[in-house]
Amino acid sequence: MRVLVTGGSGFIGSHTVVSLLEAGHDPVVVDNLSNASRSVLTRIGEIAGRQPEFHEADIRDRDTMGSIAASGFDACIHFAALKAVAESVEEPMLYYDNNVGGTIALLEVLVASDITTFVFSSSATVYGDPNKLPVTEDMPTGVATNPYGWTKIMMEQILRDVQGANPDWSVSLLRYFNPVGAHPSGLIGEEPRGTPNNLMPYVAKVAAGELARLSVFGGDYPTSDGTGVRDYIHVVDLAEGHVAALNTHVGDAGVHTYNLGTGKGSSVLEVLHSYENACGKSIPYEVVERRAGDVAANWADVTRAESVLGWKTTRDLADMCADSWRWQQRTR
């Protein structure tokens, strides 16, 4: 299939483009490079044996996107969005304009171009602070704890409404838990600009000596060691989940919702100690106040993805840390 991939130069997008190429599909990447590098496309080519077609564009630019879409596509996978929880609390309008406004602009182009299979990069943050664990897809949404989460909730609702108005549309809502790691080749991985907002890239920079210590946000949560618990998923497993959703639901009218995670939670300190094993050194840290918008614990029930998509994770926390450290050493 010829697949339009928005945000395809980013962390998750780039790994999914590799998986699409390896599966024999023809991905076309659109990215404004606000949080990615053009060199990612070259490195994708080194891994997969060929580079995807690339257009530097913002999805809010309807004219440019219309011209790209006119070349014809079988499906769209939509990653393009800002994603830092803390930044969204500080700059909510930036997030609503980019994430929600960008999605509306993209959908207008797709409807006009009769591109009806859509795979959406959603998030477990749509569940807010869950009242039970593990989290299942039928649990209520609409109770986000931060503006980033609200943008994902709004985008999911927009997609349901678009599908309702266009019954031939196939929409897959993929709710990620916590993507980490890097491609085992060491050629692509997460490239945060400035101080990382997410745990593992922050730990990686401390291990590499680029940051003095890890700040652990909260040591008094009701968890086994007092630190936040999350369902960390290897980014390559996550990428393969997108290909599984695309292959399963292309042309399959309706809204299809899946959790993508491992089904197991790990605490901040468990991740820290696993990373110490990967890099062979101690990693300094200090426990500080809780961070606005965070919840104590969150992990997925992944039964639906396993049974319907035939997909499940095959890489564990040790793999995530080892691949992250390999990537970190390459980028130094």
Q: Is residue 58 part of a domain?
A: yes
Percent of the chain with pLDDT over 70: 99
Burial pattern 32-60, b for ≥16 Cβ within 10 A else e, equals beebbeeebbebbeebbeeebebbebbbb
| 3 vs 191, higher pLDDT | 3
pLDDT at 294: 82
In a domain, 299, yes or no: no
Least confident of 49-63, 240-254, 293-307: 293-307
Measured between its terminal Cα atoms, the distance across the chain in Å is: 37
Of 95, 127, 148, 275, the catalytic one is 148
DSSP 200-226: HHHHHHHHTTSSS-EEEE-S-SSSSSS
Query: What's residue 223's pLDDT?
Result: 96
- Per-residue pLDDT band for 16 (boundaries 50, 70, 90) equals very high
Q: Average the pLDDT over each of 21-30, 52-61, 191-200, 271-280 and give the range with the smallest value.
A: 191-200
Q: What is the pLDDT of residue 118?
A: 98
Does residue 228 lie within any of the structural domains?
Answer: no
pLDDT tens sequence across 98-148: 999 999 999 999 999 999 999 999 999 898 888 899 999 999 997 888 899
Is residue 135 one of the residues assigned to a domain? yes
**Position 106 in a domain:** yes
pLDDT at 64 over 90: yes
Number of folded domains that form the chain: 1
Residue 91, SS3? coil
Label residue 81 by pLDDT band (50, 70, 90): very high
Give the mean pLDDT of the chain.
Answer: 96
* pLDDT reported for residue 332: 61
The reply to whether 104 falls in a domain is yes
Q: What dihedral angle (degrees, nearest 10) is formed by the CA atoms of 314, 233, 303, 165?
A: -130
Confirm whether 148 is a catalytic residue: yes
Assign 21 a pLDDT band (cuts: 50, 70, 90): very high
% the chain with pLDDT above 90: 89
Q: Is the predicted pLDDT of residue 213 greater than 70, yes or no?
A: yes
Amino acid at 210: E
Q: What is the CATH number of the domain that holds 131?
A: 3.40.50.720
Give residue 330's pLDDT band: very low, low, confident or very high (50, 70, 90): confident
pTM of the model: 0.96
At residue 267, does pLDDT exceed 90?
Answer: yes
In a domain, 80, yes or no: yes
28-47 pLDDT, tens digit each: 999 999 989 999 999 999 99
**Within-domain flag for 254:** yes
Residues near 190 by Cβ (< 8 Å), separated by ≥ 6? 11, 180, 182, 196, 198, 200, 201, 235, 324, 327
- Beta strands 285-288 and 214-217 are parallel
Q: Structural domain of residue 67, as residue ranges?
A: 2-179+234-261
CA dihedral in degrees (256, 320, 45, 62; nearest 10)?
A: 40
